[in-house]
Amino acid sequence: MIVYVKGDLLNDDAEALVNAVNTVGVMGKGLAYQFKEKFHENFLIYRDVCKKELLSVGKVLLVETDEGSIPNYIINFPTKAHWRGKSKIEYIEEGLNDLIKVVKENQINSVALPALGSGLGGLPWSQVERVMLDKLSNIENIEWRIYAPNNTPNLRKKLPLTEGRSILIYTLNYYLRMTKKQQLTELEIHCLMYLLQCNGLSLTGIKFNEFREVPFSDVLHVALSKMDGDFLYISGVNKPIQSSFITLESKIVVEAKKLLQKKVEKIKKISDVMELISGYESKDGMAIISTALWVANENKNANVDLANTTLDIISNNFNSSNGVVKGAFVRLYEEKWLPLN
């Protein structure tokens, strides 16, 4: 059974408390430091195990406390290899498997857990929460007490995968394959979907009637937030769009591909966008080519220097030059996204 709890995990009366750690024996910040201060014997054992290189990600270290005391156990859970590094979701998945095994072997009935890897580790809580729910919700006769960030558990129903959402997921996955990266910024998403709309494939309700460093849709921004935890994971909520990173849920990518497999015309439009942006697959590149098209579309009947206007708009936020901007316009003309005069 899973229970969301508010308050201080260190004061929980569960039989076992989970401490998120690294594998090099350092408890220097955050909750781990508080564990070090309150349960110093646990820290000494943990540090000794790390010195002997006996602790690795994917494995937990169970330390028994003084007989008769609460908690009975501290379970040190590596969410990262080095304290300077970042957590990875596979570390959480593998570690939870071992945690379940250790808890069952020691007949522990209640466990209090922090938001593993989503604090200093840098993982989106929505992603970590989904993994924790998947792993722990069906374990019988054990109470898992989860201390969620800001005490705001995600209790809403899962969103349905519509055609529009499938188009978005398919497009983002296509782009990520081109960049060979695991995540992209929200800024790049706005650029991609603006280009897709200009190519005749609009998603219901999404309009780009603002410009915030790039063509921007408030409806798209809200839609991404709603999809967080179901179809994608946002790291950097409430940050500027160039600092908000998004990772796709791999299972949803497969489902989106299946849903669109017979939508040949729509897939062709997505492919056309990817052909246009070849060589521009970066935050700066996407800003340049989407802004160039925006400026051209907004000044169809005006006698303005499109390249200089574009450069003036983006120069404060992105690395560019007159030559690079002119190159973007050449690409737009060559690919027939803009009419030749």
For the stretch 22-41, pLDDT in tens is 999 999 888 999 999 999 99
pLDDT at 328 > cutoff 50: yes
Q: Are residues 131 and 277 in the same domain?
A: no
Q: Are residues 313 and 231 in the same domain?
A: yes
pLDDT at 228 > cutoff 90: no
Burial class of 169 by CB neighbour count within 10 A (0 to 12, 13 to 18, 19+): buried
Q: Are residues 322 and 242 in the same domain?
A: yes
Instruction: Write out the H or E segment, with its range, that includes residue 205.
Output: none
The answer to whether residue 340 is domain-embedded is no
pLDDT for 56: 95
Where residue 120 falls (left for φ over 0; alpha for ψ -120 to 50; beta otherwise) is alpha
pLDDT at 333 > cutoff 90: yes
Q: Name the average pLDDT for the chain.
A: 92
Instruction: Write out the H or E segment, with its range, that includes residue 334.
Output: helix 322-334
The answer to whether residue 140 is domain-embedded is yes
pLDDT band at 230 (very low <50, low <70, confident <90, very high): confident
Q: Which entry of 80, 88, 266, 269 is annotated as an active-site residue?
A: 80
Are 74 and 63 in contact by the 8 Å Cβ rule? The answer is yes
pLDDT at 66 > cutoff 70: yes
Q: Are residues 189 and 134 in the same domain?
A: no
Q: Are residues 184 and 125 in the same domain?
A: no
Higher-pLDDT residue of 279, 228: 279
What does the alpha-carbon distance between residue 119 and residue 121 come to, in Å, rounded to a whole number?
Answer: 5
Q: Are residues 175 and 104 in the same domain?
A: no
The answer to whether residue 97 is domain-embedded is yes
| Residue 110, amino acid | S
Domain boundary among 125, 151, 177: 151
pLDDT band at 238 (very low <50, low <70, confident <90, very high): low
pLDDT for 239: 76
Q: Which are the contacts of 4, defined by CB distance < 8 A and separation ≥ 6?
A: 145, 146, 147, 148, 151, 153
The answer to whether residue 185 is domain-embedded is yes
What does the alpha-carbon distance between residue 95 and residue 77 come to, in Å, rounded to a whole number?
Answer: 7
Q: Which residue has the tokens 């055609």?
A: 163
Average pLDDT rounded to a whole number, residues 42-59: 95
Q: Which are the contacts of 108, defined by CB distance < 8 A and separation ≥ 6?
A: 15, 16, 72, 73, 142
Nearest to 293 by CA among 188, 190, 198: 198
pLDDT digits (tens, 9 = 90+) for 277-323: 999 999 999 999 999 999 999 998 777 899 999 999 998 888 889 99
Nearest to 136 by CA among 106, 108, 107, 99: 99
pLDDT digits (tens, 9 = 90+) for 199-212: 999 898 999 989 99
Domain boundary among 97, 117, 151: 151
Q: Are residues 96 and 144 in the same domain?
A: yes
| Residue 63, amino acid | V
Q: Are residues 30 and 147 in the same domain?
A: yes
Nearest to 234 by CA among 273, 193, 189, 196: 189
The torsion angle over the Cα atoms of residues 203, 206, 208 and 212, rounded to 10 degrees, is -120
Domain ranges, residue 205: 163-334
Q: DSSP states of 158-187 as a string?
A: PPP--HHHHHHHHHHHHHHHHHT-SEEEHH
pLDDT digits (tens, 9 = 90+) for 108-160: 999 999 999 987 888 888 889 989 998 998 898 999 999 988 645 454 567 89
> 16-25, 73-82, 255-264, 302-311: which range is least confident on average?
302-311
Which segments of 63-161 does DSSP mark as H helices, in order?
A: 89-105, 125-136
Nearest to 284 by CA among 327, 234, 242, 237: 242
Q: Are residues 142 and 167 in the same domain?
A: no
Q: Reply yes or no on whether 80 is catalytic.
A: yes
The torsion angle over the Cα atoms of residues 112, 79, 283 and 201, rounded to 10 degrees, is -60
The answer to whether residue 339 is domain-embedded is no
pLDDT for 151: 47
pTM: 0.69
The answer to whether residue 23 is domain-embedded is yes
> 67-81, 152-166, 226-240: which range is least confident on average?
152-166
Total structural domains within the chain: 2
pLDDT for 86: 87
pLDDT for 181: 92
Q: Are residues 125 and 180 in the same domain?
A: no
pLDDT band at 341 (very low <50, low <70, confident <90, very high): low
Q: Which are the contacts of 21, defined by CB distance < 8 A and separation ≥ 6?
A: 27, 32, 46, 61, 76, 77, 78, 79
Q: Are residues 132 and 171 in the same domain?
A: no
Chain centroid to CA 165: how far? 17
pLDDT at 59 > cutoff 60: yes
Average pLDDT rounded to a whole number, residues 98-104: 97
pLDDT digits (tens, 9 = 90+) for 85-96: 889 899 999 999
